[in-house]
Amino acid sequence: MGKRDEQQACTAEPVLGARPRRRRRLLLLAAAILLGLVGLGIAAYLRARSPAGRVDALVLELREQLVSYDIAIAKYVNHNNFFYRSLRRIGLASERKDRCWYEIEEDLVVLGPPAVPRLVQVLAKARTSGNDDTSPDYAAPYVTHVLGQIGDVHAIPALLAALKDPNTFASAAWSLGWIGDPRAVEPLLAALGDENATVRRAAAEALGMVGDVKATDALAPLLKDSSAGVQAAAAWALALLGDGRGVPILAQSLQSKDVWDGIRAAVALARLNTPEAREALRVQAASSSSESVRRFAARALETSCVQALVAELAAADADWPMELLGDLRATEALPALDAAARSPDSYMRFVAHLAARRIRRLAEAQTPPAAPATAP
């Protein structure tokens, strides 16, 4: 071997030795990247399956039902929800399209108390994001509604704060009434003097749901409110509280063009069951333009209010008797509501679960704890 060949061999050896080392480094780097991606995937999967992740996915699905496609895309980008949409597409999270809002709401309620912290965060974010086209306020009333149905008292501060937002006042008032916590009474009483008739109506109805009889004197002046809707709501709330001062308003509501107001007035009169209420039910309901009002009134005059509602549910297969049975806290109606919860109609199932859930929760809250066992 000549001197030139020896030089070439010497210079080639380091190059040849560097190639395996470079290859090993690249392989280690690729392995590290792969492991990192796998770790991120596992973390994302666990996050999607956690209560917070499931809440995010369901709230995202709810928004998809409430806003147009263009606005929804803006929401995904602005609120970092695009990743969860991608997870659904590749099968790491369930993809369920074309569902109605109440089906999504029911799935959120089923998550129960573990979902409350994340739902509270979603609601707080909605309240602080403004009302432009990219805000998440579309879902806020529904989230508020879900918090009420879950019934966790830890959500009370968030619901009280939601009363300050016009977008969520009605749903927050309903939720506070649903839970029945006494902390809701004072802010709801204050809202009875609001200049907005919608606010006054929602507050009156919520006070009736809470069930605090101390609210009757504050509700009575609303029987002369300038809004007929507020009058009807006050009369309904008073009837739920066992106060018959709203009977004349309820009698007028039987002739309302709004079928719901007429039906609710008939149920309120049947619940009061005073001579004045029965006379109003007998005279006014006979001439009502609503077949449902006439039929319920005839049943209520022959039997109890709850039995008439259960009979109406069985005969008409309608959702309104279930909602009213929930408002009346009718524990004797639970078998009928459980049967309705097996209906092939998804909305009927939703309302049946809604009413039964409230009745059972309030019954459990009123049941005194068992006495501790004493040692022999």
Banded model confidence at residue 27, pLDDT cuts 50, 70, 90: confident
Identify the pLDDT of residue 270: 95
pLDDT for 348 beyond 80: yes
State pLDDT tens for residues 109-144. 999 999 999 999 999 887 766 544 444 467 899 999
Angle ∠(145,149,150) on CA atoms, nearest 5: 115
pTM over 0.85: no
